[in-house]
Amino acid sequence: MTPFHTSPFHRLAGSPKHQVTLTVAFVLIAAVSVRAGGIESKLKKVLGKLPQEQAVCGAAVIDLSTGELVFGLNEARPMIPASNQKLIVMAAGLDLFGGQGVFRTTLAARGQDLIVIGDGDPTLGDPNLAEARGLTPLKFIESWADALAAEGERTNPSMGGEAAHSWIIPGDFIVDDTILDTEYFHPDWVADDRVKWYGAPISGLNLNNNCVELTAMPSGQPGDACAWSIFPSSSALTVINECKTSKSRKPVPVIGRRRGTSDLVLSGRVGKKLTLKSVSVFQPSQFAATAIREALAGENVHLRGETRFERIRTRNGSLPADLRIIAEHVTPLSDVLRRIGIDSQNMCAEALFKRLGRDWSKRQNGIPVAGSWQNGRQAVLPTLQRAGCDVLNMVVADGSGLSRSNRITALDFAQLLQYMHRHPEAKTFRESLAGNRTGGKLKRRMSDVDADVFAKTGYLSGVRSLSGYVRTPDNCWFAFSVIFNNFRGGSSPYNKLHDKVCDILADGCQHAPRKP
């Protein structure tokens, strides 16, 4: 029936002992068959007729105790996966870096210059991670300022200028962002998406997910220009304020960015203080470098020289021996994976995708090449091949699933999940997914499913996907993937189908014998 089926017996002879073994084996097979048959008929009934005629479903379910494909529907048909694409990057990240992998952003000095060396960390200044730890997103700047204070000399007040409790860096501010390439936006991404938080650019030095949050508030009389503030503050951005103060508290102002520029336009009217949805920046490295420099000045660390972008790493990717390391900001890979899997943070997925490409290139040739979407695709292929996926008939365009060029089958996702279930980092992988009893979007949707569900959601216009695991009360595990394409309108009917699939799998082991 399927290449995943593993026979529970082998070379059974005709002795009574072996005959008993054979009988037990057939009983076990019969029990598995009953279970599989029940699941198959129920899922066929639920997924066999979709709410819209033009909609297409690709689905696959693997019983992880036997390796059997217990249900398939268009399982080998390449589909647009939306954010289920992130499962590929997460699995490859654990394969290549291991659960102890980290990103290191380095603050160093050489001569009179201050240097920041980016590592492609997508969570530097990440507001969600900071909030979870009770910190501010730029807390690392305070740590850096303290480290610089310990390294440097306090300014002599007689020199004039900054206060006596300031520290002066007489040289330049040098930024090395060369670990990743400078193709900040994927060419497949829709132009309008590139302005939104979920279409933020990717660089070797990132800050606050390469987005800013603007807060508007009434000021003066109705009709007067409103007041505003922005976080993180960076003079690399220009805010064009066209928003007016209103008597009413109902109007909601609008923030946008002019395509291909760093100009942010605030428009509309505002009658009460409002923080608007995040908007992406255009030149992420320039934005991050300027914001960091200005934040250091806010901590009384002042740089006299100019800001320069320059390669500091050696040809083999290491740090030069003449650098004096002042501080490091270290982010565990597990933090990045949770932002990708639970929060579906596109920018984090793309940064990891490119970072995988950079390290893959070094392992191939000894000399690293800047991480890119091109070598990122090469980097994830070994993981997919080890999982038994059909890499010849899939398209891996990006890491987040925002590109509509991606194509992968439900069977490929189920196989990848099966591979990660046996992986040394299986627990880290599973805990990086949304769960109906742990957190994320599934907790709101599937709280009444009588099983543990760990899965990745996915959504694009006309696409809804869900792939992950169901662990039943009897401790039976299923890997599943259900992808819908080509529907019109809202995705609510297809969310409900996903929920029904998990309900069916939750009962799938009810009558099967438990493992001793």
Same-domain check for residues 114 and 134: yes
Which stretches within 315-463 are classed as H helix?
333-341, 346-365, 373-386, 410-421, 426-431, 441-445
Confidence class for position 27, pLDDT limits 50, 70, 90: very low
Residue 29 included in any domain:
no
**Which residues have a Cβ under 8 Å from the Cβ of 377 and sit 6 or more positions away?**
357, 396, 397
**Which residues have a Cβ under 8 Å from the Cβ of 49 and sit 6 or more positions away?**
none
Residue 388 has pLDDT above 80, yes or no: yes
Phi then psi for residue 442, to 5 deg, are -70, -25
Per-residue pLDDT at 153: 44
User: Pick from 334, 353, 370: which residue ends a domain?
Assistant: 334
Residue 513 included in any domain:
no
Same-domain check for residues 362 and 285: no
Same-domain check for residues 230 and 286: yes
Same-domain check for residues 86 and 135: no
Per-residue pLDDT at 7: 28
Per-residue pLDDT at 36: 56
Task: Kindly write down the DSSP assignment for every residue of 116-156, as one continuous string.
Answer: EE----TTTT-HHHHHHTT--TTHHHHHHHHHHHHHS-BPP
Residue 15 included in any domain:
no
Following CA atoms 501, 506, 512, 516 in sequence, which dihedral angle do they give, to the nearest 10 degrees? 140
Give the Cα separation of 354 and 371 in Å (integer): 4
Residue 251 has pLDDT above 90, yes or no: no
Residue 272 included in any domain:
yes
Same-domain check for residues 287 and 414: no
Of 221, 225, 231, nearest in space to 244 by CA: 225
Of 41, 22, 79, nearest in space to 401 by CA: 79
Same-domain check for residues 317 and 374: no
Segment 238-242 shows an average pLDDT of 97
Residue 231 has pLDDT above 80, yes or no: yes
Residue 26 included in any domain:
no
Per-residue pLDDT at 16: 43
Residue 469 has pLDDT above 50, yes or no: yes
Following CA atoms 80, 83, 85, 86 in sequence, which dihedral angle do they give, to the nearest 10 degrees? 180
Same-domain check for residues 158 and 305: yes
CATH number at residue 283: 3.50.80.20
Residue 9 included in any domain:
no
Confidence class for position 283, pLDDT limits 50, 70, 90: very high
Confidence class for position 17, pLDDT limits 50, 70, 90: very low
Per-residue pLDDT at 2: 34
Is 232:138 a contact under the CB 8 Å cutoff? yes
Same-domain check for residues 70 and 112: no
Residue 513 has pLDDT above 60, yes or no: no
Same-domain check for residues 110 and 233: yes
Per-residue pLDDT at 164: 52
Domains in the chain, number:
2
Of 316, 320, 318, nearest in space to 362 by CA: 316
> How large a percentage of the chain has pLDDT more than 90?
83
**Torsion sign, CA atoms 393, 399, 400, 403:** negative
Residue 20 has pLDDT above 80, yes or no: no
Confidence class for position 4, pLDDT limits 50, 70, 90: very low
Q: Token pair 């933020």 is at which residue?
A: 200
Quick check: pTM over 0.95? no
Confidence class for position 266, pLDDT limits 50, 70, 90: very high
Residue 355 included in any domain:
yes
Confidence class for position 152, pLDDT limits 50, 70, 90: low
* The Cα angle at residue 353 between residues 324 and 293, in degrees rounded to 5: 40
User: Pick from 334, 360, 376: which residue ends a domain?
Assistant: 334
Per-residue pLDDT at 167: 84
Segment 215-222 shows an average pLDDT of 96
Segment 219-237 shows an average pLDDT of 96
Same-domain check for residues 73 and 135: no
Segment 194-212 shows an average pLDDT of 97
User: Looking at 151-160, 233-242, 342-351, which range is the least confident one?
Assistant: 151-160
Confidence class for position 37, pLDDT limits 50, 70, 90: low
Per-residue pLDDT at 268: 96
Same-domain check for residues 325 and 340: no
Residue 20 included in any domain:
no
CATH number at residue 50: 3.40.710.10
User: Pick from 315, 334, 353: which residue ends a domain?
Assistant: 334
Same-domain check for residues 416 and 484: yes
**Which residues have a Cβ under 8 Å from the Cβ of 322 and sit 6 or more positions away?**
110
Give the Cα separation of 28 and 266 in Å (integer): 66
Report in angstroms the alpha-carbon separations of 1 from 5, 7, 76, 312, 347.
8, 12, 14, 56, 40
Tokens representing 435 are 């769960």
Residue 183 has pLDDT above 90, yes or no: yes
Segment 266-291 shows an average pLDDT of 97
The length of the chain, given as a count of residues: 516
Which domain covers residue 307, as residue numbers?
Answer: 102-334
Residue 120 has pLDDT above 80, yes or no: yes
- Average pLDDT over the chain reads 90
Confidence class for position 13, pLDDT limits 50, 70, 90: very low
- Chain segment 299-331, per-residue pLDDT in tens: 999 999 999 999 999 999 999 999 999 999 999
Per-residue pLDDT at 179: 98
